[in-house]
Amino acid sequence: MKEMPLISVIVPVYRVEKYLDRCLQSITEQTYRNLEIILVDDGSPDGSGAICDAWAARDSRVRVIHKENAGAGAARNTGLDVATGDIVSMIDSDDYLEIHMYEHLLSLMQNGVDIAECDICWTERDDLPMEDGSKAEIKVCDVENAMRLHIRDEIFCQTPPNKLYRREMIGDIRFPEGNLIDDEYFTYRVIGNARKLARSSACMYAYRQQPGSAMHKTFSLRRLQGLEAKVQRLDYLEKKMPSLVYEAKFDLFFTAMFLMQECLRSLKGAELEQARTYIREILQRITPLEKHPEASAKKNLLLKLAQTNFEGTCRLLNFLIDMHVLT
């Protein structure tokens, strides 16, 4: 790696005038200074575009692209298309970073490490105390172990903003455009290109929780895009890492259960039947499944019950949650 590689920081911007200054302050004040900061104003109807321009006027590292609204995936793709750095970061414009985050993660990208990530703090605050990385525990994984942990949603999860990527790992991989869910289509393919991945236990990325965000809105059929992404991941693993196919099927089964529970709560009529049909087709492909040797007894019991009566098990779980027997 070059001694001071350029980091391209891509920030999609849409309706975040309340939070954008805090985000950009945390980027421009990073202790690692060699940054190319690409702000993609995704046709924001509030004052976010003007805030972007003001930052560009006072910091020569900041570049602004104004474009018509097409969603976060399209905005990230625009940034990826123009990025020139050896390293890429993608930050959500309502979040903020601990000022040592880039310096710390870059220090992990040695000896074949192509992706480095830190822990995420979930917050509603602007001033959350975070760690500087000096006391962090570091875990380095080869690509197969990293993919296993990704599938299990333990570390190396689908969220891009807490990561640094070597740009060649991304290559021509891009986010789907117009989707409610886009991270899950992107992350597994980039992980699959890496040699090694490093994980820092330090919490250095503040993820702002907002009730109005896409994932907090009323449930709709578009949420089933999460299943579609995991089906595509299964296709990928069948070709590239067949040893992880069972892990992917097991995870896909429980994702289907969770989404079926949500469908039963929120959808009716033709929409519910459409969801049933789609989930049934996925289950026919991935079942029967044997119990997972490392899963809890409770999860393996649910697997057994749901393979006997899938929708009935989902309805039972909803009932137990409503009765506060389960959380």
Please give the residue range of the domain that contains residue 274.
218-322
Distance CA 56, CA 229 (A): 36
Q: Give yes or no for residue 177 having a pLDDT over 70.
A: yes
Residue 53: inside a domain: yes
Same domain, 68 and 149: yes
pLDDT tens track for 40-86: 999 999 999 999 999 999 999 999 999 999 999 999 999 999 999 99
Same domain, 147 and 275: no
Residue 2: inside a domain: no
CATH no. for residue 189?
A: 3.90.550.10
Contact 104, 203 (CB under 8 A): no
Which of 200-209, 210-219, 248-257 is the least confident region?
Answer: 210-219
CB-based burial, 156-178: b 16+ in 10 Å, e otherwise: bbbbbbbbbbbbebbeebbbbee
Same domain, 65 and 138: yes
pLDDT tens track for 301-320: 999 999 999 999 999 999 99
Residue 55: inside a domain: yes
Distance CA 51, CA 283 (A): 48
| Percentage of the chain modeled with pLDDT above 90 | 93
Same domain, 199 and 73: yes
pLDDT tens track for 90-103: 999 999 999 999 99
**Rounded to whole angstroms, what are the CA distances from 150 to 153, 161, 214?**
5, 15, 22
List of residues 6+ apart from 169 with CB closer than 8 A? 114, 115, 190, 193, 194
Same domain, 13 and 57: yes
What pLDDT score was predicted for residue 287?
A: 96
**Rounded to whole angstroms, what are the CA distances from 179 to 40, 72, 150, 184, 225?**
18, 9, 21, 11, 8
Label residue 180 by pLDDT band (50, 70, 90). Answer: confident
Label residue 3 by pLDDT band (50, 70, 90). Answer: confident
Q: How many residues are recorded in the chain? A: 327
Same domain, 304 and 201: no
Per the structure, how many domains does the chain have? Answer: 2
